[in-house]
A and B are shown apart, each in its own frame.
Chain A
Amino acid sequence: MARISELEASLRPPAMDMPLYPPKAITLASGEQMVVRQVERDEVPILLEAIYPLLWVERDFYDIVAARLFGELLAYKRYRVKDEYVLVGLIDGVLAGMVNGRLVDEKTGMSYHTLTIRRGLRVGSHLFAAKMEYHIEHCGQEEVLIVAESPIGFRRWMIEYPLEKRFEVQHELGGVPSWVLPRDTYYGAKPRLVSGRRPVAEELLRGAERIVLPREETVVRQVAGDKEETE
């Protein structure tokens, strides 16, 4: 690792020992295989490029999620957020979605965002579950604090896991009242909501080594609906 100046070091948060998320493969409804894996800092630029067109898509709160995620990804890359992780879902190497969060301390995780690019295949559900799996099973945490920008999307998780109110705690995302997924609830929900196979077959893993950008027109069309509709 390159030597960094004392000043730069003082601007970086101290880092915990965070385990690497072990990649897994998920069979989607289409029969396609999605590889879920963690990203490295040098992969952030391509993620930024992928979500950039979504900054102006108001529908389903994509604009605010994309904007906040953009900042969080940059902060992760430039060492300005404490203990952040980013997981991506890749189908044939093409970016299908991403999730991120950070470890507040050993006991508590802070879930940030879930962004789905390839819609209609429950990619968001799979990735959100992978995120919870990371906090609780791999980092050994007791609970994860969660909020969301979209009320309808959030309501589904709120009811499905289910999540508990922890309203006295302000979530980092705008200070809104937090919900929490405790460890026990995670394990209770796991058979229903968490899936995937490990280890990932070598060929599949190799195909997921390099993140491929989805075509911009596909991304915006999928999330925002058809702009120019056929007659």
Chain B
Amino acid sequence: MKPVYIVGAGMTKFGRSEWSLIKLASVASLAALRHANLGDVPVDSVVVANMGAARVNRQTALGSALVDQLALYPAMAEAVENGPASGASAFKVGCQAIASGMASAVLVTGVERMRVVNGLEGTDFVASLSQPEVEYIYGVTLPSLAGMFARLFMDRFGVERKHLAMIAIKNHENGTKNPYAHIQQTVTMEGILTAPEAAVNNPPIAEPLHLFDCCPVSDGAASLVLVSEEVAAKLAGPKVRVAGIGQATDTHAVHEREDPTDLKAVRIASERAFSMAGATPRDVDVAELHDAFTILEIAESEAAGFFDRGGAHLAIERGETRLDGALPINPSGGLKAKGHPVGATGVAQLVELAWQLRGEAGERQVKGAKTAYACNFGGFGNNVVATVLRREET
């Protein structure tokens, strides 16, 4: 496989947008292309990540639509759908094009514009990723799967609501340092957990998960420019190498998982990514995890190998995952504060990490970051893509 480099990264502000789906995608794409400064190197391929356009925006064939908006014909193009892991899957497809020699420069853009429908429609749409005959018909929604997972996980490992609150507080704080984050609001332990008013401030969503354990619904787009070694050599700027990608699947219905507290697909995907990268979790300086629900930040960090089983919440208590800690997790604010335009998320995680490795993360900069890890969690953990990025000295 030929080496792959990230040379451009851009995104729109996540939140509520008046822009159309394709305009969001175009804005992020142009930001990444400007960042890459490809000169006369043509873009060979465009890969769009998106989950809901056909249903929620009544639009299909997004790859072709984006090529047209950016006047990139006759480049190759398609859209990739892998639920909430669409972003990292599209990234994987883009990397494969370069690794195989089929393309030299690829634009990967993830986009979602969900807020055109109301919350009920949005919830139902996301619930469509559940198993139709044995989950969906029962009123299962993604939060309900997270709630059931959380209860069992917390019971087994002694995780308490205060640990979940610490994650929400940390990610909200990081979000205020990220001008692209949806939520620009800090929260306190008193306000979301300990004060009597917390019952109204932070109502249950899927017990034991509450409002501030769940990410918001957001519109937005994020984009990366990937190139071959030959093209990268011609460009100025730091070199971010795609060191490893791993993907793994698990049973569709959550009740069929071997151990319902074990995120097996995260574990296997991470092992594959680290193996390809010739790295271990200990080498990682900064990570972006998929905290659609705060409990997932805990569970994924263990399954990926950063902490022992049952050890993550203790590390959180010690402050290890804060921006100034030993292993900053979700410097961008995570899905919780940065937001979660479903198709864009996997790409946005890598945009943040690319900025981190290039020293361009502003107030959120993790000093000396050289190796980064991202986990994009599809379905409810039945399709996971993990990525390891490494800064290369020129």
| Chain A residues in the interface with B (C-beta under 8 A) | 26-32, 120-122, 125-126, 129, 152, 155, 191-197, 225-227, 229-231
Contact = CB atoms under 8 A, between A and B. Distances in A.
A29 to B, nearest CB: 4
A229 B17 contact: yes
Interface of B: 10, 12-13, 15-19, 27, 30-31, 118-120, 179-180, 183, 185-188, 190-192, 195-203, 212
Given A30-B185, A227-B18, A230-B179, A122 B190 contact: no
B197 A225 contact: no
Contacts of B19: 229
Contacts of B192: 29
A225 B16 contact: yes
Nearest to B31: A231
A126 B203 CA distance: 12
Contacts of B30: 231
B261 to A, nearest CB: 29
Contact of A122 (B10, B120, B179, B200): B200
B179 A30 contact: no
B12 A229 contact: yes
Contact of B197 (A26, A120, A152, A191): A26
A231 B187 contact: no
Contacts of A195: 196-197, 199-200
Nearest to A26: B197
Given A152-B120, A227-B18, A229-B19, A28 B197 contact: yes
Contact of A29 (B16, B27, B120, B201): B201
Contact of B27 (A129, A226, A231): A231
A29 B185 CA distance: 9
A224 to B, nearest CB: 8
Contacts of A28: 191, 197, 201
Contact of B190 (A31, A121, A192, A231): A31
A122 to B, nearest CB: 5
B197 A196 contact: yes
Contacts of B179: 230
A226 B183 contact: no
A194 B201 CA distance: 11
A159 to B, nearest CB: 11
17 contacts: A27-B195, A28-B201, A29-B188, A29-B202, A30-B186, A31-B190, A120-B185, A126-B197, A129-B200, A152-B120, A191-B199, A225-B18, A226-B17, A230-B12, A230-B180, A231-B12, A231-B31
B13 A225 contact: no
Nearest to B201: A29
Nearest to B186: A30
Contacts of B186: 30-31
A230 B12 CA distance: 7
A145 B331 CA distance: 47
Contacts of B16: 225-226
Contact of A30 (B15, B17, B18, B191): B191
A155 B119 CA distance: 11
B200 A225 contact: no
Contacts of B201: 27-29, 121-122
B374 to A, nearest CB: 23
Contacts of B119: 152
A27 B18 contact: no
A10 B118 CA distance: 47
B17 A31 contact: no
Contact of B191 (A31, A126, A226, A227): A31
A32 B191 CA distance: 8
Contacts of B15: 225-226
Contacts of B27: 229, 231
Contacts of B187: 29-31
Contacts of B180: 230
Contacts of B10: 231
A26 B24 CA distance: 38
